[in-house]
Structure 1
Amino acid sequence: MDLFLQNHQYNYIVRQAKLVISTIKTCSDNQVVETVKYTALSKVLDACPGLSGEQRHLVERLGELQTAEELQVYMSKLLQCTIKFPTLTEPQLKRLFPKVKKLRIPDLSDLEKHPLTYFTWTDSATNKKYLVYYRQPQSDKKSSGKLIGIEGQYTSTNKTGVCAFCKKPGEAAFFSAVAKTRSSHSPDYYRSVGQYICLDNKACNVQITELDALESFIEDISK
């Protein structure tokens, strides 16, 4: 089967599937269990529009899950159909951040091991954070996929906060970037756009289940 799920969609399906298994384990009311299954499947199908017949059939197996062992098999099959993050090279990264004269290239060997929604690393020497996002091709807009690079300041808070991207609590850092357009209130200065995001980007990539906040952050910087 072709790769058809994005990382955030895979995460969302897994979250709903775990909810189903948890309900089966803790609830003896079959009607409640069936309601949870129906609701979970409905949410998943809404989050994964445009599925082909075979793709939909795979996703709908969520409604057949009964045990933790079946959940693991289901997750494994979904993972095999999840789109991996594009391979990144040093020349690509330098093109994404052309104004950075001494770009410190991170270890790229782990990129193909796990699905990602975004890739990020920190240069501790300059306190800069670099974020790379791959915007998937939009079939309805007939556009090709695009790599987007965001450079910004990184400030560790040493506090627990809610990540803007994955909406989960955890150790947070403040990531701020300069927008392309100047501030309307002070034309001599550019706008700064910032969000609190997970300090652990690997955890964030496992937890993120929708793209609205990340896309909005990128759009705000691009304006």
Structure 2
Amino acid sequence: MEKQTIQPFLTVANYHLLEQQMNKILHTLATTIDKNVILAVRGLVETEITTKITMTATEAQIVEQLFAVTDRTQGENFLESLKPYVIPFKTVTASTIKSLFKKEKKLKMPNLVDMDFQQICYFAWDDPGTHRKYVIIEQEKQLKAIKGLFGNSTIKGICAICNRHADVGLFTTSVKGQVVGTFTNHSNYICADSAKCNHHVSDMHKVNEFFDRITQ
């Protein structure tokens, strides 16, 4: 009988969540020998994962290997073994970008050559010359985009996208209002480094809420 192939079932955000929770276990193992504390942390990690990631019994068996991780090498091997099960961000091409930002006459294109779509939850790049930041997100299997001005200066603060403490800058977007000729501006502090921000994202619900909020 042919072995059934397990299809990708983890979002990029799910993968980041698993990595973060694994690091929580490894940090505990490195800082205490109290078996009760270690057991409690493993229990909290299991609860966090099983409540946030919907899986079949077979898929759960793959993820459950994380709960037994005891060292960094074992953990990294586990994360590597998960990559075939990660659903990548929808591939973005130059023509895709041009169609999403078709009103931009002098659009600065991002570097797509080295982009790993299996590592990002949203796609973003900067145009330092115009102080613009461009953001593309995937919702309901469709790519949606928005642009905004990104401030020159950064401060330490909480990012509105990943909700982590980081170097953030003011991202100001403008969308058409319900009345013709009017616009609504939204200003939020987000990570200056979109790559690091992406790596911190472990909950796409929050990302979608942010995008919905600044496009309404």
Task: Calculate the TM-score normalised by the size of structure 2.
Answer: 0.90
Amino acid at match of 2:215: S
Aligned to 2:195: 202
Q: Show the counterpart of 2:127.
A: 123
What secondary structure is seen at the aligned counterpart in 2 of 1:157?
coil
**1:152–1:177 CA contact under 8 A, matched in 2:** yes
Residues 162 and 196, structure 1, Cα contact 8 Å, conserved in 2: yes
Q: Which runs of 5+ in 2 are unaligned?
A: 1-5
Alignment partners' CA distance in 2, 1:25 and 1:130: 40
Q: 2:29 aligns with which of 13, 20, 24?
A: 24
1: distance between equivalents of 2:117 and 2:13?
Answer: 16
CA distance in 2, matches of 1:182, 1:2: 43
**Cα distance in 1 for residues equivalent to 2:116 and 2:72:** 27
User: Is 1:35–2:40 an aligned residue pair?
Assistant: yes
In structure 2, what is the Cα distance between the partners aligned to 1:25 and 1:126?
A: 46
C-alpha distance in structure 2 between counterparts of 1:122 and 1:111, whole Å = 15
Matches of 2:89 and 2:18, distance apart in 1:
19
Q: What are structure 1's unaligned runs of at least 5 residues?
A: 138-144
Please report how far the alpha carbon of residue 43 of structure 1 lies from its aligned counterpart in structure 2 after TM superposition: 0.5
Residue matched to 1:3: 8
User: For residue 132 of structure 1, what is the aligned residue in structure 2?
Assistant: 136
For residues 188-212 of structure 1, give each alpha carbon's deviation from its aligned partner in whole angstroms, at most 9, with x where no partner exists. 6311112111111111111111123
CA distance in 1, matches of 2:125, 2:109: 9
The reply on whether 1:72 has 2:76 as its aligned counterpart is: yes
Identity of aligned residues (%): 24
SS of the aligned residue for 1:173 comes to: strand
How far does residue 182 in structure 1 lie from its aligned partner after superposition?
4.4
Distance 1:212 1:54 in 2: 25
SS, match of residue 83 in structure 1: coil
Question: What is the aligned partner in structure 1 of residue 3 from structure 2?
Answer: none
Once the two structures are TM-superposed, the CA of residue 58 in structure 1 deviates from its matched residue by 1.0
Does residue 177 of structure 2 align to residue 181 of structure 1?
Answer: yes
- What's the secondary structure of 1:80's corresponding residue? helix
The answer to whether the aligner puts 1:56 opposite 2:52 as a matched pair is: no
Other-structure match for 1:216: 209
1: CA distance, partners of 2:128 / 2:71? 45
Could you tell me how far apart the structure 2 residues matched to 1:152 and 1:81 are?
Answer: 34
Q: How many residues align?
A: 211
TM-score, structure 1 length as denominator?
Answer: 0.87
Q: Alignment partner of 1:2: what SS?
A: coil
**Contact 1:87/1:111, CA 8 A, preserved across alignment:** no
Give the distance between the partners of 1:217 and 1:38, measured in 2 at CA.
31
Which residue matches 2:51? 46
Cα gap change, 1:3/1:9 in structure 2, threshold over 3 Å: closer, same or farther? same
